[in-house]
Amino acid sequence: MVLGLRWFGISVLALAAACGERAPQAAKPAQAATPAEWLAWTVADTGFGPITIGMTPEQANAAVGGSLTLPQGVADGCDYASPRGVDSLSFMIEQGKLVRIEVRRHDVRTVAGARVGETEARIQQLYPGRVRVSPHKYTDGHYLTVMPGDTTGHPYRLIFETDGAVVTKYRGGALPQVEYVEGCS
């Protein structure tokens, strides 16, 4: 029986890894999330803490106890929401939905533990066999795109931008928005 349960647990982990990086469900704050709570959550290709890609800005704001600063009137355009009291972290909103998380801070990690400041080699270690390297559009660096184990029906990615040596910023979210080089520009 123990062997059967152990095999089941390993199978569930393998299935989760094949589908892409998923953030563990964080408890929804009853009141506004504090900066410490924001910094304790992790980024996945499908969300951040209690925020899930595809939510409306209002749903995301409710999930974090009203602690997002939301732009006004972006129903058909593109803009950003950001957590109050936490800089260098933002959420792209396009067509009324959250589509991308952008991180420029060293203390916000992915589910696998990647962060700004990691070496390119470390990203390769954290996501073995899943990193597609392409040249950066504006610098001598690279885009390190983390592909899910099974790309069929998984339209989400993590993309790390580097200066050729270390990660300078990263983003996670839905295709095609996660691949936009200039963001909302």
Alpha helices in the chain (DSSP H): 2-19, 35-40, 57-63, 120-126
Q: What is the pLDDT of residues 141-164, one digit of tens each?
A: 999 999 987 767 789 999 999 999
- The yes-or-no verdict on residue 15 having pLDDT over 50 is no
CA distances to 101, 152, 156 from 89, in Å: 7, 29, 19
Answer with the residue of higher pLDDT: 15 or 102.
102
The predicted pLDDT at position 185 comes to: 76
- The yes-or-no verdict on residue 100 having pLDDT over 70 is yes
Which two tokens mark 72?
Answer: 């006004």
Q: What is the pLDDT of residues 44-95, one digit of tens each?
A: 999 999 999 999 999 999 999 999 999 887 667 899 999 999 999 999 999 9
Peptide bond into 155 cis (omega under 30): no
- The yes-or-no verdict on residue 16 having pLDDT over 80 is no
Right CATH for 35-179 from 2.60.460, 1.10.260, 3.40.50, 3.30.70: 2.60.460
Q: What is the pLDDT of residues 168-181, one digit of tens each?
A: 999 999 999 999 99
If pLDDT is split at 50, 70 and 90, which confidence band does 6 have? very low
